[in-house]
Amino acid sequence: MSLRLALAQIRSQVGDIDGNVERTLEAWRRAADAGADVVVFTELTTTGYPPEDLLLKPEFVSANIDAVKRLAVDGPSGTVAVVGYVGTAEGDLVADDPGRPDGWEVASAAGLALTNSAAVLADGRIVATYDKFRLPNYGVFDEARYFTPRDEPLVVSIAGVAVGITICEDLWVEPGPVGAAAGQGAKVIANLNASPYHRGKRAEREDWAARHTSRDGTWLAYVNVVGGQDDVVFDGDSFLMGPDGEVAARGAQFVPDLVVVDVPVDTGDATDLEQLSGHRGERPELAPHEPAERLDPVGEVWHAVVTATRDYCRRNGFTEAILGLSGGIDSAVVAAIAADALGGENVLGVAMPSPYSSQHSLDDAEALARNLGCSYHVLPIDEPVQAFGNVLGDLVVTGFGEQRKDGREAGVAYENLQARSRGVLVMALSNERGSIVLTTGNKSEYAVGYATLCGDMAGGFAPLKDVPKLLVYELARWRNSIAAPRGDSGEVIPASTIDKPPSAELRPDQRDDDSLPPYEILDDIIEGYVEADLGIAGLIERGHDEETVRRVLRLIDRAEYKRRQAAAGPKITTRAFGRDRRVPMTNGWRG
């Protein structure tokens, strides 16, 4: 015997309850047309994830409960659906007369404990609900702030097969709720997820799934949401794993997908459970499952930042993006990301040369815009900087090579004056055109404060915020290795942009390594300190010079106030700046 199972990784959007209902119904109907007995959706299908303080609004919670009712009534018969929603601990969603819409109990969220829940829907009714037990409260997760856990396993019989229902973090403990469901006779475990992407996450998910399936001899359907949400991005990548610990079917990465497979499973003894019949009538024959092509590790990151940028812009009403094109590697990669996310015709690149900008940088910026099909303008900043200098007078030294009678020379204040002049220009264009400004800083720069408040940090979204400098170069080479748009030389990003030494070009002959360690050293120290929580001793043991370590850590700690003011950007490493890493701005610890 087999259970025909559908994995529905949809693009749920936070707060768009009506839209999420339509997306769910569309996938449910497709699953029914394919003869599925059951279709499994994602965590908090109705509300999107994470809804955060929307959960404090009683009307929002009630609207989400109404959405589950609508799904039950409007969904196709014959195919069972498992959908995620926000429940109330005091109010049971299952009514005495579930066939009548006016028979539902909709409890007010005011004063009630909430649950991260899943509902089993079949033939116009809600037959059972499950409340998540393991509530993550680390990294980007704050579920203990909102939800109440329930340690009550749920197993239902679908087409004669015992199916256990679990949600996301329930998987990440052994034996936990997954083992409890198997202990109650489940042959297939459905695991609804909103699991943010970071590099290496797939291996972690599959390792946990294999522990459970190999231990219990079960099948496990892992279904994950797709899309960007503020500073996280969800990659889909749903899978079905067999009792041998091997993946038997898999969904696509970073795009919605519906995977329908026949799961060979013994019915076992499910006679004590309510029997949900599953698909009725003649069942269409399934073509052999063809897993979506896997992305390589760098390609994964590219698709993550493109997906995050596209969804942030479109969901917030922006159709055009503006960014400063310096001719350097960071702005080139952000421009290519924006073009892939929104279309090159919807990207405006602005070169804003100062007296210290090189001609080859301007040439590279123009070539990049041409390759991507972007609009391109040159707005020199000489006059604005001079005007600021005139207003400031003797208060700030402007112009390198000048030395005042008091011995002062131009320094960081003058460099930042140039960066802030550029910020004024791009934000003026943003106001005029109603477009979003994308900032171009990377994780290495944000880590050590190598970015200017109200200057190159000015903007609404930071695609490279969690991308270390060396990975930025890898992304550039990866983008050049794939299809059009391309320039005459077959490149998207000019080779000269990739090959030249990085420089802010805010003073004569400036290079990043004049004031920072080489990025091979800097990125490794940042990774150790920020992502692995190593201290000075641990980083020295890792092979780094003590003086360099102490200097870099001082820079990282002192720059926290800047990062608190930075635009949002997608998490792609194990630990990103922002709500994933929360340290005090005022901090006396040095170690």
DSSP, collapsed to helix, strand or coil, labels residue 50 as coil
In this predicted model, what pLDDT tens digit does every residue of 149-189 receive, in sequence order? 999 999 999 999 999 999 999 999 999 999 999 999 999 99
Calpha distance 459→429 (Å, rounded): 11
Query: Is residue 549 within 8 Å of 536, Cβ to Cβ?
Result: yes
> Are 163 and 156 contacting, i.e. CB atoms less than 8 angstroms apart?
yes
What pLDDT was estimated at residue 486? Answer: 55
Phi then psi dihedrals of residue 189, to 5 deg: -110, 125
Contacts of 192 (CB under 8 A, 6+ apart): 40, 41, 42, 43, 45, 82, 84, 118, 165, 166, 167, 168, 223
Structure tokens at 308: 């995050």
Place of tokens 């990125």: 523
Q: What is the DSSP string of 105-120?
A: -----TTPPEEEEEEE
Instruction: State the pLDDT at residue 410.
Output: 75
User: One digit per residue, pLDDT tens: the chain, 591 residues?
Assistant: 789 999 999 999 999 999 999 999 999 999 999 999 999 999 999 999 999 999 999 999 999 999 999 999 999 999 999 999 999 866 556 544 443 333 334 433 445 689 999 999 999 999 999 999 999 998 899 999 999 999 999 999 999 999 999 999 999 999 999 999 999 999 999 999 999 999 999 999 999 999 999 999 999 999 999 999 999 999 999 999 999 999 999 999 999 999 999 999 876 666 666 778 777 677 888 888 888 889 999 999 999 999 999 999 999 999 999 999 999 999 999 999 999 999 999 999 999 998 888 898 899 999 999 999 999 999 999 999 999 989 988 888 888 766 666 778 778 888 889 999 999 999 999 999 999 999 999 999 999 999 999 999 999 999 999 999 999 999 999 999 986 665 555 789 999 999 988 877 777 777 777 788 999 999 999 999 999 999 999 999 999 999 999 999 999 999 999 999 999 999 999 999 988 888 888 888 776
**The pTM of the whole model exceeds 0.85:** yes
**Helical spans, DSSP H, in 316-392:** 329-342, 359-372, 382-392
Cβ count near 513 (within 10 Å): 13
Q: What distance, in Å, lies between the first and last C-alpha atoms of the chain?
A: 61
Q: Which element (helix H / strand E) includes 193? A: strand 188-193
Q: Where are the alpha helices (DSSP H) in 436-506?
A: 443-448, 469-481, 495-499
What lies within 8 Å, CB to CB, of 55 at 6+ separation is 47, 61, 86, 109, 114, 146
pLDDT of residue 402: 66
Contact assessment for residue 157 and residue 188, using Cβ atoms and an 8 Å cutoff: no
Residues forming the active site:
43, 132, 168
The residues that bridge with 263 in the sheet, in sequence order, are 3
Cβ-count burial 395-424 (b if 16+ within 10 Å, e if not): ebbbebeeeeeeeeebeeebbbbbbbbbbb
3 state SS for 54-86: HHHCHHHHHHHHHHHHHHHHHCCCCCEEEEEEE
Mention every residue, 6+ apart, whose C-beta is less than 8 A from residue 343: none
Q: Which domains does the chain have, with CATH numbers?
A: 2-292 (3.60.110.10), 298-511 (3.40.50.620)
Q: Is 431 helix (H, G, I), strand (E, B) or coil?
A: helix
CA distance 187 to 219: 6
The two tokens of residue 14 are 């936070």
Cα torsion 159, 163, 166, 171 to 10°: value is -130
CA-CA distance, 420 to 97, in Å (whole number)?
A: 64
Identify the pLDDT of residue 18.
97
pLDDT of residue 487: 53
Q: How many angstroms separate the CA atoms of 166 and 222, rounded?
A: 10
Q: Which pLDDT does position 110 carry in this prediction?
A: 45
Work out the percent of the chain whose per-residue pLDDT is above 70.
92
